[in-house]
Amino acid sequence: MITGKFPNLRLRRNRKETWSRRLIQENTLSPNDFILPIFLIEGSNKKESISSMPGVFRYSINRLPQIIDKALRLGIPMVALFPKTKNSLKNELGSEALNENNLVCRAIKEIKKKYKNKIGIMCDVALDPYTSHGHDGLIKSNQIVNDETIEILINQSLLQADMGCDVIAPSDMMDGRIGKIRKALDKSNFKNVQLLSYAAKYASSFYGPFRDAVGSKSKLKGDKKTYQMDFRNSDEAIREIALDIREGADMVMVKPGMPYLDIIKLIKNKFKIPVFAYQVSGEYSLIQTAINKKIVNQDVIYESLMSFKRAGANGIVSYYADRIDKILK
Ligand code: PBG
């Protein structure tokens, strides 16, 4: 592959001027590459800061236009909605997930009413924002039960689709849920609702600030290791992705992001399907805290985002998406 050698060969030649570096760059980022997560909160006129995620806020439904107008102006194609459910509405079964007047459902309706199809809406399918124990599924005799959980996830998916959600994103890691949800969507005439599977989702400590943001952190009993993946494994990620593709996923996600670039690359090379990376809350907060403390400068944001492109991701879920104009400049 390498022909010639030093001193004939000098790789620095191509790097010597800005125009030349621009010419030979292999990867680029644009606003089209981003999904913006938005945290929702009950109430009116609220834009609430989140102590564990400096620069990220929770919005009440009537304040959503502020952030969605901005996303539109920036050219972000899709937002992802995450509710902070009131504690009084949480229970063992997560039944609030199936309430058509829950926070997410009302937000979807409002956004669709105001913005039509100018911006995509993605919603998580999982029970953790709604359960009193903070787990993504139902608990029976101390186990997170798979098949019973799927029955609820199917109804959660149908409800979100009915409200107008464009992209259903199961993030629960139950076995077999993609196929079951696809089948149920098709049967109910939601043939064109897309499925983005959080297919390779690892049991990670990088989710800490998110759990704080949606109010499940203090609730969570134990860990999620019996359903989310072991971070020692990568062959297993290929199996998870292969199964979800066979079951009908239109797109797949790897999560967390930066510590899992090898997984993104592996999957992109093996499966020709849109792959998304989730730069999760812990990654965001580590970077942003270091910037705020002037330990690193803010160019690390762009560098971190570009790593996902280099690994082969088609797009990135990032809490920086609402500031992408300044980051790409
Ligand atoms: C819930 C869910 C989590 C995240 C997205 N959806 C947390 C978890 O699985 O415990 C994490 C996102 C982030 O950390 O930014 N199923």
pTM of the model: 0.97
Can you name the CATH fold of 29-328? TIM Barrel (3.20.20)
Nearest CA to ligand 1 atom 6: 171
| Cα of 19 from ligand 1 centre, angstroms | 41
- Evaluate the omega torsion of the peptide bond into residue 256 and state whether it is cis, within 30 degrees of 0: yes
pLDDT tens column, 146-174: 999 999 999 999 999 999 999 999 999 99
Nearest CA to ligand 1 atom 7: 207
pLDDT tens column, 97-132: 999 999 999 999 999 999 999 999 999 999 999 999
Cβ of 104 closer than 6 Å to ligand 1, yes or no, is: no
Query: Which of 132, 133, 59 lies closest to 89 in space, CA to CA?
Result: 132
Q: Point out the ligand 1 atom lying closest to the alpha carbon of residue 206.
A: 14
pLDDT tens column, 235-259: 999 999 999 999 999 999 999 999 9
The ranges assigned to domains in the chain are 29-328
Q: Point out the ligand 1 atom lying closest to the alpha carbon of residue 228.
A: 9
Q: Please spell the DSSP secondary structure of 119-157, one letter per residue.
A: SEEEEEE-STTTBTT--SSEEETTEEEHHHHHHHHHHHH
Phi first, then psi, for residue 155 (nearest 5°) are -70, -35
Name residues whose C-beta falls within 8 Å of residue 233's C-beta, 6 or more positions apart in sequence.
none
Rounded to 5 degrees, what angle do the CA atoms 298, 122, 215 make?
70
Q: Give pLDDT, residue 1.
A: 75
| Cα of 143 from ligand 1 centre, angstroms | 20
Q: One-letter amino acid identity for 135? A: H
CA distance 222 to 65: 37
| Cα of 136 from ligand 1 centre, angstroms | 10
Cβ of 283 closer than 6 Å to ligand 1, yes or no, is: no
| Cα of 12 from ligand 1 centre, angstroms | 42
| Terminal Cα-to-Cα distance of the chain (whole angstroms) | 35
Query: Which of 50, 30, 6, 3 lies closest to 324 in space, CA to CA?
Result: 30
Helix (H, G, I), strand (E, B) or coil at 36: strand
- 201 given a catalytic annotation: yes
Ligand 1 pocket mutation pick from 35, 85, 128, 149 by most atoms within 8 angstroms of CB: 128
The pLDDT confidence band at residue 195, using thresholds 50, 70 and 90, is very high
Q: Give pLDDT, residue 218.
A: 83
